[in-house]
Amino acid sequence: MIDTNYFKSVRILDGGMGQELLSKGLQSKGSLWSASALLEKKYHQLVIDAHLNFINAGANVIVTNNFSARRVRMIENKANDQFEYANKIAGELALKAKELSNKNIMIAGSLPAQNDTYVKDERDSKIIESGFLDQALCLQQYVDFYYLDVMSSLRECQIALSVTEKIKIPALVGLHIKANGKLPSGEKVYDVISECKKYNILGIILSCVSPEIIEQIADELSKLEIPYGYKANLWKLNDPLPHTAWIKDPDQIGTNPIEVLGTRDDYSDEMFYNFSKKMIDKGATIIGGCCEIKPKHIKKVSELLN
């Protein structure tokens, strides 16, 4: 199991698996996006290769590719009968990539927000808990720690952390932050992190957030006396919308999210390096990417370890 002090030193996380897979030829189905690669065996090698691309670029940590395999998304796409298979194969493929790399990397098990992404989950706590638990148990044997992937409220974090504590595997908490510097729930970052610190957590990162928003609240994070950092996105929209806000016909989903959310092709690996160097100077130790952060970005920032 991972050393609880692991993120006190600078570590490089991977980038956006979903966008990497789509760019390499994945034909997604419905709103499954990256999870489509788990359900079809012909894409399994593509998942392994995408993990390896980030490992070879210098990532110390890879995240399992089950972000879109949450229960609600599987039901939405009439694939709920394959829920357990999809989540377990995500763990298997990550482990296979680690073995092929012959590198001592860590595997983080993705526990995504259990309803829509980027919005507060208002459902009953027991429903949310069941979603987290089902995914966590599928991944348990493959991962070094869990990654709470794009959380939008303290309540979601607390429910997820109650699950990870029962399983006795620590977690890295990923909070989504809006342009106003607060979670989608309206809660302040400081207040949420203060409560999360009561659990067995490895650190806090800003999850699928633009570099500009990250920089905006970096000083606040540096005061929290806990390892912190980010998985930055390169969407054009500072406040990305959940897929349910822009997809009206479930049978016609399958488009690449960049067609709606946009991509910042002009944000170079050098720019990501300079941004990351600035964040490390401010005390950040967890450096990585989310949507549209490619292996070239990770390769460049990995130079910061040297």
The predicted-structure confidence for 56-102, as pLDDT tens digits, reads as follows 999 999 999 999 999 999 999 999 999 999 999 999 999 999 999 99
- For residue 164, how many other CB atoms are within 10 A of its CB? 24
Whole-model pTM: value is 0.95
Backbone angles phi, psi at 170, to 5 degrees: -70, 165
Q: What is the pLDDT of residue 159?
A: 98
Residue 104 CB burial class (10 angstroms; 0-12, 13-18, ≥19): exposed
Question: Strand, coil or helix: what is 185?
Answer: coil
Distance CA 289, CA 209 (A): 9
Q: What is the pLDDT of residue 50?
A: 97
The superfamily (CATH) of domain 6-305 is Homocysteine-binding-like domain (3.20.20.330)
For the chain, the domains span 6-305
Buried b (16+ CB within 10 A) or exposed e, 230-258: bbbbbbbeeebbebeeebeeeeebeeebb
Distance CA 45, CA 300 (A): 25
Q: Within the chain, which residues score under 70 in pLDDT?
A: 237, 241, 244-255, 258, 260
